[in-house]
Amino acid sequence: MPGLGHNNGPTMEPGESWRRHAWGKARAQLMPVLPIEVVRLRVKRAAEIGLDYKTYASIRAASGHDVIAFMFSTNALRLLAPQPSLPLDRQEKLAAIIDTGRVALTRAPLTPEHVLDLASGLIDHAASAPRPFAPWGESRKALLAAISAQKWPADRVVMVGDTSDERVWAQSARLGYYLPADRYFAA
């Protein structure tokens, strides 16, 4: 153990470069090498759901599963009062999603029915979001209720949100991933 005055700098013992090399090689062997066919399929799937490959791979690595649904907050969709309307960039992105569910979480004064009308054909289901400052248990219950009708496992649903509250919702419901709206809807 280093004594007084030691700044925890690099070791001066012989063999340090060999240990660094061995550690790097062992770490590289832990990472799976995917066959090119699997990578191509994943690149295609990422494009189908509107994600770049790096983001899609991060979601797969974090959740261990493919994305089967997106959960959007009305903030992420930019459905803001007093006269909400779905912006064109959001419409185009939602319309381009293939074989993946889309659910919206609404907050007053918007209702689930109103959001379904505003995003006709672009959102599969809408439900009420947890109330502001709701405890974790209540938030979890609200989010799981929103996806239960579709029988989607929570760990395969990605929350696309715009606030720190929405990140907490994703954590409370143990969703597969939280993705900031500006990252999802960019380009």
Q: Is residue 25 part of a domain?
A: no
Tokens of 14: 């012989």
Q: Is residue 164 part of a domain?
A: yes
Alpha carbons within 13 A on the beta-carbon side of 51: 23
123: helix, coil or strand?
A: coil
Q: Is residue 139 part of a domain?
A: yes
pLDDT of 99 reads: 92
Residue 130 is which amino acid? P
The answer to whether the CB of 85 falls within 8 A of the CB of 132 is no
Helix ranges (DSSP H) in the chain: 16-30, 36-48, 53-63, 88-96, 112-118, 136-148, 164-172, 181-184
Q: Is residue 65 part of a domain?
A: yes
Which CATH number covers residue 58? 3.40.50.1000
Domain count, the chain: 1
Tokens of 75: 């903030």
Q: Is residue 67 part of a domain?
A: yes
pLDDT of 30 reads: 67
Q: Is residue 145 part of a domain?
A: yes
Q: Is residue 6 part of a domain?
A: no
**pTM across the whole model:** 0.80
Longest distance between any two alpha carbons in the chain, whole Å: 70
Q: How far apart are CA 81 and CA 114, in angstroms?
A: 12
Q: Is residue 84 part of a domain?
A: yes
**Which residues span the domain enclosing 82?**
36-184
Bridge partner residues of 72 (DSSP): 104, 160
pLDDT of 82 reads: 78
What are the per-10-residue average pLDDT scores of the chain (187 residues)? 64 80 79 84 95 93 93 94 87 94 93 93 94 91 92 95 92 95 87
